[in-house]
Copies of this chain bind each other. A is one copy, B any other.
Amino acid sequence: MRTLHGEVQTPVFMPVGTQGAVKALGPDDLQRLDYEIILGNTFHLYLRPGHELIRDFGGLHQFISWDRPMLTDSGGFQVFSLAPLRKISEDGVKFQSPLDGSSHTFSPEYAVQVQEALGADIIMAFDECTPYPAERDYVKKSMELTTRWAARCREVKSDNGQALFGIVQGGMEKDLRDMSTKQIIDIGFDGYAVGGLSVGESKTLMWEMAEHTLPLLPEKSPHYLMGVGTPEDILKGIKIGVDMFDCVMPTRNARNGNCFTSRGRVVIKNARHKREDIPLDPDCDCYTCRNFSRAYLRHLYSAKEILASRLLTIHNLAYYQRLIHGARKAIEAGGFLEYYAALSEGEGLK
């Protein structure tokens, strides 16, 4: 995948930098972890410090000192999750800032404008992330609104080198997913995302919808499964053709002391780790695992030391990176299914 700030190998996982920082890490840490692309949240950055300020600093890359590719979401997901402090109309969404109660409106045109000010390599169309559960009638209307908004985003998007991705909605209704996909493809985007999944439905239903939708996307464009997921989800997604993932799970879990390892989850605060003189993950070569014992990490976590968040986040992101890099290598060697099967037999995906 080629972007303004260089190439990105796929499949790829994008750490979430909600407010202009991947929580607990600096760009130095992310570069050492070999992450090629990160995600910024338009909604949060719009509210604070403001997209105009960031534009005046030369864009988000410059502002946060990240010179590799970046993607911003449209702000839609966060705006909709403000319910009942938001109101949807054909024009857009009016909402109150959770920071100071002030009134704001996001329209498709404005979401593009804000994202152009932020200047990420990839920006997203403004959509309604359909809630779950929802009546079929609502899902259909919401999907159609997303289509009209997508067309408006495409229409106003400047020819500035930023890629614009469209988002497929349609809830848990296969025929609506079909319609949405067709409409979004007809408008024409640089990449396609599947939205509205992982919003409360069962994993079975989520994968039923993802498996149904992914094959409908244009083969040559990047496929992005938004907000997903667990390590198991990542491999399932790759299997059905997903190229891009993002999720707060590795970073948020780390801050809560919940760590992914090749031998299964480690809840670092548990008493069993108090005297454990082995790395968090003996099969990991990240900074944390090369230098510290589980006992020390548990101590830092128990003592509420800030360093615990950084070290555990470094590890969880190293774990995701290894998972994805392994998948890439396996795909190149034609052995992805074997890779997936081998990992499924162990404890590493649990």
Contact = CB atoms under 8 A, between A and B. Distances in A.
Interface string A4-44: 00000000000000011101111110000000000000001
A63 B299 CA distance: 10
Copies of this chain in the oligomer: 2
A21 B311 CA distance: 12
A310 B26 contact: yes
A49 B294 CA distance: 12
Given A25-B307, A49-B274, A303-B48, A20 B57 contact: no
A280 to B, nearest CB: 13
A306 B305 contact: no
Nearest to A45: B299
B21 A300 contact: yes
Q: Which of the listed residues A25, A63, A65, A306 has the most CB atoms from chain B within 10 Å of its own CB?
A: A306
A48 B299 CA distance: 7
Interface stretch (A153-161, A196-204, A225-233, A285-293): A285-293
A123 to B, nearest CB: 21
B49 A287 contact: no
In order of increasing CB-CB distance, the 9 nearest A-B pairs are A65-B291, A24-B306, A49-B299, A19-B303, A21-B307, A21-B305, A306-B309, A63-B296, A65-B292
